A and B are shown apart, each in its own frame.
Chain A
Amino acid sequence: EAQVTQNPRYLITVTGKKLTVTCSQNMNHEYMSWYRQDPGLGLRQIYYSMNVEVTDKGDVPEGYKVSRKEKRNFPLILESPSPNQTSLYFCASSLRELRELFFGEGSRLTVL
């Protein structure tokens, strides 16, 4: 089954404790992206990657890092989480020829 898988789905952590949210897709998509969803703000792009070893900042990259060492994986790293990073995070991917995004189920992160 074609899918985008994120882990963990839910996480409660404390300020400053490094964490990684993993994202994996099995559709051989070149493009992958991370979004955060906050009430009233819709989805805002954090980082994206157009292919292996090619990443770029989105609209709200501060406090986040990413890497793309393999085509299927695109982890989101919070080196020192802060409470303003409490949010619902979505990973998405797409094929170059297709236009639409395929989303994971989301990861709800709470930073205390």
Chain B
Amino acid sequence: GDSVTQMEGPVTLSEEAFLTINCTYTATGYPSLFWYVQYPGEGLQLLLKATKADDKGSNKGFEATYRKETTSFHLEKGSVQVSDSAVYFCALKDTGGFKTIFGAGTRLFVKA
């Protein structure tokens, strides 16, 4: 079945460091791909998405590119801030369906 694998955390960075969180997926067809973010004590919220190969999703300085050849959707940010400390979830939604499958989540700590 479809699945999402993302790098284990926690990831600890200093402010203004470069961030990469790896995400790879297994799916039949052409899923849509997402990154969700969960701030402490809150529900998940959509960070960015891409619906087809080579699409780049971006929001709040974060970017991810849908790479079909490597089945990846890595999250990047050029300069992280303390306020980016959160748990990040990679997810896919199967073609034509309603089911969303989540990775295990990666916790990010950013130190001032």
- Which residue numbers of A lie inside 8 Å of B, CB to CB? 4, 31, 33, 35, 40-43, 45, 48, 50, 58, 90, 92, 94, 99-106
Contacts and interface: CB of A to CB of B under 8 A. Distances in A.
B104 A101 contact: no
Contact of A48 (B36, B41, B99): B99
B104 A40 contact: yes
Contacts of A48: 98-99
Nearest to B4: A42
Interface residues of B, number: 20
A106 B43 contact: yes
Given A48-B98, A90-B43, A105-B42, A99 B49 contact: yes
Given A4-B43, A58-B99, 14 more contacts: A33-B98, A35-B102, A42-B105, A45-B100, A92-B44, A99-B49, A99-B93, A100-B34, A100-B49, A101-B36, A101-B44, A101-B100, A102-B46, A105-B41
Pairs A-B, 10 closest by C-beta atoms: A103-B43, A42-B104, A43-B102, A100-B46, A103-B44, A42-B102, A105-B43, A99-B32, A31-B98, A42-B105
